[in-house]
Amino acid sequence: MSKGIKKSLMPIVITIIAGIIIYYVALPAINFKSMAFWLYVLVLALLLETSLVIAGFMATGKSQNSAGSHVKALGIGITLFVAAFIISIFSSNRFFNSSRYVGLMKDNIKEGDFSTYKATLENVPLLDKDSAIQISNRELGSLVDVVSQFELGENEQITLKGKSVRVSPLYYGGFFKWNNNKREGTPGYIKIDMMTQEAELIRLKEGIKYSPSEFFGRDLKRYLRMKYPFSMFSSFNFELNENGEPFWVVPVEKHTIGMFGGVDVDYVLLVNAATGDTYKYSLDEVPEWVDNVYNSNLIISQYDYYGSLQNGYWNSVFGQKGVKVTTEGYNYIPQGNDNWIYTGVTSVGRDESNIGFILANKRTKETIYYPVSGAEEYSAMSSSEGVVQHLGYKATFPLLLNVEGQPTYMMALKDAGGLVKMYGMVNVEKYQIVATGETIQSCQQKYRELLKNNSISVTETETERVSGVIENIKTAAIDGTTYYYVKLISKESYFALSVKDNQLILLKEIGDTISLDVNKKNTGKIRDALLIE
């Protein structure tokens, strides 16, 4: 091969090699509707033209006209690229496609009656994400053989066999720790029961070998990119199937409006975190144990399109008749075996009041709108904080519950160290009704009394008297409060008593006979109780 041919091929060879390296690192989807793909193409075009210019100079040392033509061609190419890019953005713009943006969510929404709303204190956990992470870190820190090599991955809330739990996979602590442990993988994951707040490390027979903390071929995104080069991955969600096996739930995006607009989910990939086995499901085939098909922010953005653009783009900007959007912030409410996202809905004027709220199923995108007007979440948080302002506690983003048939915000109140010290309840419609208590039971009791004082009928709690001989006593400190877990002879459940509400439990021992008042609706393995003096 002549030197001239070699020199003319060299820019192409350099561009190909550089393209392979960039692709391996950046992992763009080979998809015309992926912005990352077009950026990748632009970088390759710049590399090729730069290589040709340099090769032209090196060939003769005076190929200025040739170099100039390359630069001119490069300029034309970039101009055409930018023009096409601008056109594609306009084709996705809400101004031209308002009805199509409304259609992203329209068919999934139905209106509900609050009397059918099922989230109550008995079935909704109040442990928030930050507290769950703190508990997980404490559990990880107590495991000497694990904490030196691994760290917590992203914490996810899921429902497992109808129970709400939070799970965090273990990640490698860095490249060298990965190199030391790559044959076995990470040991497993930490699981927190959202009701009992107990955390445990679940050690797997076969470690987690496919995750975002891996390197090279087992890095989760790279592993999937090699299998699905055309797919646009939106997120990687760690979940467990009903047998406790770890999986990555990976929704694959599609852009339904123009080039880059109308983001939605096309199909779902499931990756066994231990074996790497991969399964592809259409949206109507996704297993019921899967929770996080639709990203929370995606659901919220689609509802905002629906609420703001129903009467056209110009109305959303000027007249704003009937325009409504979600409030800032959201929370999760388990329903059955699914995880639902909750957020308030307010008028576009944002006058610190809500006109309703939505619940959206993160697996199916089924969305229920409840027309309940009242206080906006952050106003309710401020109301609870105001009651204990002398203590400086901060409220978590609330859950919306059905308490005595009343829409009620329930939130935890934390100190500067992030520990839960109290709980707050605020009536949504009559937000001057605010109750706080050191325990959930005491907070609920005060709230019920306030409802009575405001002429709101309250159903008397059905309790049962349980008596027996103490067989076993266990203690646990949860968010700064000590709990005694009492097992009575011939009773299957443990009875949980907080020291703050049941100080006499400190004087009781195994073999003593005690009597407890227990809510009849509370029938789990651990039942909240009050000690009868």
Among 453, 472, 499, identify where a domain stops: 453
Distant-in-sequence, close-in-space partners of 318: CB < 8 Å, separation ≥ 6: none
Residue at 346 is within a domain? yes
Residue 44 neighbours by CB distance under 10 Å: 16
Give percent helix, percent strand, percent coil of the chain, each to the nearest 5. 35, 35, 35
Residue 76 and residue 202 share a domain = no
Residue at 305 is within a domain? no
Residue 251 and residue 147 share a domain = yes
Residue 65 and residue 143 share a domain = no
Residue 271 and residue 180 share a domain = yes
Helix (H) or strand (E) holding 426: strand 420-427
Residue at 211 is within a domain? yes
Helix (H) or strand (E) holding 431: none
Supply the range of the domain harboring residue 441.
377-453
> Which tokens belong to 224?
């999937």
Residue 486 and residue 399 share a domain = no
Residue 177 and residue 134 share a domain = yes
Alpha carbons 472 and 498: distance in angstroms, whole number = 16
CA distances from 320 to 285, 310, 424, 520 (A): 39, 10, 35, 49
Residue 296 neighbours by CB distance under 10 Å: 17
Residue at 300 is within a domain? no
Residue at 77 is within a domain? yes
> Which tokens belong to 340?
């639902």
Show the DSSP H helices in 109-219 as ranges: 129-141, 144-147, 175-181
Residue 280 and residue 137 share a domain = yes
Residue 47 and residue 72 share a domain = yes
Among 453, 475, 498, identify where a domain stops: 453
Residue 136 and residue 78 share a domain = no
Residue 220 and residue 144 share a domain = yes
Residue 416 and residue 267 share a domain = no
Residue at 458 is within a domain? no
What is the sign, positive or negative, of the torsion defined by CA atoms of 120, 125, 131, 133? negative
CA distances from 220 to 215, 230, 245, 252, 275 (A): 9, 16, 17, 14, 12
Residue 266 and residue 165 share a domain = yes
Residue at 299 is within a domain? no
Looking at the whole model, is its pTM more than 0.75?
Answer: yes
CA 449 to chain centre: 35
> What does the pLDDT profile of the chain (533 residues) look like in tens digits?
555 555 667 878 888 999 999 999 999 999 988 989 988 988 888 888 777 777 766 665 554 455 555 566 566 667 766 766 776 777 778 888 889 999 999 999 999 999 899 888 877 888 888 888 888 988 888 887 788 899 999 999 999 888 889 999 999 999 999 999 999 999 999 999 887 788 999 999 999 999 999 999 999 999 999 999 999 998 999 999 999 999 999 999 999 998 888 999 999 999 999 999 999 999 999 999 999 999 999 999 999 999 999 888 888 888 788 899 999 889 999 888 899 999 999 988 656 789 999 999 999 999 999 999 999 999 999 999 999 999 999 999 999 999 988 999 999 999 988 888 899 999 999 889 999 988 887 888 889 889 988 888 777 666 788 899 999 999 887 766 788 899 999 888 899 888 877 888 888 999 999 998 887 767 778 888 888 86
Residue at 163 is within a domain? yes
How many domains, the chain?
A: 5
Among 354, 372, 390, identify where a domain stops: 372
